[in-house]
Each structure stands twice: as C-alpha cells, then as structure tokens.
C-alpha cells in the first residue's frame, strides 16, 4: 500500500513538471495545456515578395523589391507580434 501512494505522488509531480513550449517559448504544465494555450506563427518570418503578389507590407520609394519582411502565414510585418494560430503547447521533449 505504501508503494502505491509513492507511485501516485511521483505521477502527480511528473504531471505538474514545467516544460517549455518549442513554438511560443512559454512554460506550461500538463494541466495548463489546452487547445488554445499556445499562440504561434505556423510559418517563418521571411524577407521576400509575397507569392501571390498581395501587398501585405508597405515599401518605401527607395526600398529594393525584396526589402519586405513579414510572416509568411499571415502577413504581419512585426517579428514580435503575437501568433496568428492557437493550439496545444508542444515541448522539446515531445516527439
């Protein structure tokens, strides 16, 4: 009976272990991880003209055509802007 109690306590401690999300870099626990807990960009911050030539960005008159920098997923120009997609946190330990 004593062993069962210790095993349960170890499970609770393991479950509440803080992890770091590899997408948003925030710390989380298994109990705090839900479908909307992670806010991230599913694509890269790029420096190029958008594939479909939409103007998601404003170039100055003297800027070269590839001076545009934006997230390829949503067109946001600020590299520090909050993510455009939500989901579960994914830790570096997950496969």
Neighbours of 59 (CB within 10 A): 13
Q: 62 lies in which domain range?
A: 1-95
pLDDT tens across 19-57, in order?
Answer: 999 999 999 999 999 999 999 999 999 887 655 555 545
Over residues 1-17, mean pLDDT: 61
- Domain with residue 24: its CATH number is 4.10.1130.20
- Please tell me the predicted confidence (pLDDT) of residue 60: 66
Q: For 49-94, what is each residue's pLDDT tens digit?
A: 655 555 545 666 776 666 678 888 998 888 999 999 999 999 988 7
Residue at token pair 């545009």 = 68
Domain count, the chain: 1
**Is the overall model pTM greater than 0.95, yes or no?**
no
């Amino acid at each position: 009976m004593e062993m069962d109690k210790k095993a349960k306590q170890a499970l609770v401690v393991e479950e509440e272990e803080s992890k770091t999300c590899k997408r948003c870099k925030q710390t989380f626990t298994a109990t705090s991880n839900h479908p909307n807990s992670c806010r991230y960009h599913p694509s890269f911050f790029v420096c190029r003209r958008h594939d479909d030539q939409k103007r998601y960005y404003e170039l100055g008159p003297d800027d070269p055509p590839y001076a545009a920098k934006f997230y390829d997923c949503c067109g946001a120009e600020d590299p520090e802007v909050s993510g455009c997609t939500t989901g579960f946190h994914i830790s570096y330990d997950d496969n």
